Amino acid sequence: MKEKNTEKKSHKVSSTDSKPSKKHIYGSTRSATTRLDSLPERKKRAAAVIKLLNKRYEEPETLLHARSPWELLVATVLAAQCTDARVNMITPALFERFPNVGDFANAEQEEVEHYVKSTGFYHNKAKNIIAAAKVITEKFNGEVPHTMQELVALPGLGRKTANCVLCGAFGINEGIAVDTHVKRISLRLGLTIAEDPVAIEKDLLEVFDKSEWGNVNHKMVWFGRHVCTARNPLCQECELATLCPFIKEEGKNTAQEK
Ligand code: SF4
């Protein structure tokens, strides 16, 4: 799952601070809704959305391959601006060369870069992974910390990565990781009108039950790949169509426009 480096912003941003633009919901070809429905309405819609997504993806396939919290942390960092498939291709060799946190902490940056080069932004990724490994080794006795506060204090880690690690490695629902799929689908479904990932997360935390927070990212990512795609969402096949303001506001099915 990809992330832009917008994670370090304050979590105090509200969706009401964000001005919706013409293109932020539907890419460059769609006009945006500018009005957020009432909280009860959004909560009701969110409950229906997650119910349908849970039905569609009862046992969604794991996206990033990892055998430990540390490996998940590394894979999630590498997945920024890269596909999960690409990350899964390179991590076996990386983890064979550097089997644990201490090995990364003592690694030469150039060597780590060599292994992660194809994921892009490899200088920063290698630098941050090594720096995080040093902190985890020195401060946490080699164990990945379990709290949002400690995770976001690690070099190069933001809320999205921290959310993925907390939920994926420890089963802790502390927040909702907002990536490009979660952003697009949440905007289309009228669950937010914000553009900033931190503000989007804040809106989503208000409307989804806490027990579902981990599912929201995981299942929206699959839904965004299979159905609610960026350019040609398959609205005719979508079980969320009756809930979706995109359909209501556009007045026609995007699938018919192809
Ligand atoms: S109806 Fe279309 S835009 Fe709305 S959630 Fe479904 S696929 Fe996405």
**Structure confidence by residue, pLDDT tens digits, 206-237:** 999 999 998 898 899 999 989 999 988 999 88
Helix (H, G, I), strand (E, B), or coil: what is residue 139? Answer: helix
Same domain, 43 and 92: no
Q: How far is the CA of 63 from the centre of ligand 1 (A)?
A: 22
Q: Residue 109: its pLDDT value, please?
A: 98
**Exposure of 103 in the CB half-sphere (CA atoms within 13 A):** 12
Same domain, 88 and 162: yes
Q: What are the tens digits of pLDDT across the range 157-200?
A: 999 899 999 988 998 999 998 989 999 999 999 999 999 999 99
User: Residues 125, 134, 160, 183: which is the catalytic one?
Assistant: 160
Output the pTM of the full model.
0.75
Sole residue written with tokens 């480096």: 5
Same domain, 77 and 46: no
Q: Residue 115: give its domain's CATH number.
A: 1.10.340.30
- State yes or no: pLDDT of 248 exceeds 60: no
Same domain, 219 and 248: yes
* Average pLDDT value for the chain: 84
Q: Print burial letters for 114-125: b (CB count within 10 Å at least 16), e (below 16).
A: ebbeebebbeeb
Same domain, 154 and 244: no
Q: Is the CB of 144 under 6 A from ligand 1?
A: no
Q: How far is the CA of 32 from the centre of ligand 1 (A)?
A: 14
Has residue 12 been placed in a domain?
no
Query: Is 252 annotated in the active site?
Result: no
Going by C-alpha positions, the residue among 86, 95, 71 that lies closest to residue 117 is 86
What tokens does 84 get?
A: 């999960």
Q: Which ligand 1 atom lies nearest to the CA of residue 254? A: 2
Sole residue written with tokens 């932004």: 121
Query: Which range of residues forms the domain containing residue 48?
Result: 22-27+36-55+176-257
Q: How far is the CA of 190 from the centre of ligand 1 (A)?
A: 11
The Cβ of residue 23 has, within 10 Å, a number of other Cβ atoms equal to 12
Same domain, 75 and 163: yes
Query: Is 51 annotated in the active site?
Result: no
Least confident of 100-109, 133-142, 191-200: 191-200
Sole residue written with tokens 């914000």: 194
Q: How far is the CA of 244 from the centre of ligand 1 (A)?
A: 6
Query: Of the candidates 107, 138, 170, which is a domain's last residue?
Result: 170
- State yes or no: pLDDT of 81 exceeds 90: no
Q: Is the CB of 169 under 6 A from ligand 1?
A: no
Q: Is the CB of 240 under 6 A from ligand 1?
A: yes
Has residue 109 been placed in a domain?
yes
**Domain count for the chain:** 2
Largest interatomic CA distance in the chain: 58
**Closest C-alpha residue for ligand 1 atom 2:** 235
The Cβ of residue 9 has, within 10 Å, a number of other Cβ atoms equal to 13
User: What span, in angstroms and rounded, lies between the C-alpha atoms of 249 and 256?
Assistant: 15
The Cβ of residue 139 has, within 10 Å, a number of other Cβ atoms equal to 13
Q: Residue 107: its pLDDT value, please?
A: 98
Same domain, 134 and 196: no
Q: Is the CB of 87 under 6 A from ligand 1?
A: no
Q: Is the CB of 132 under 6 A from ligand 1?
A: no
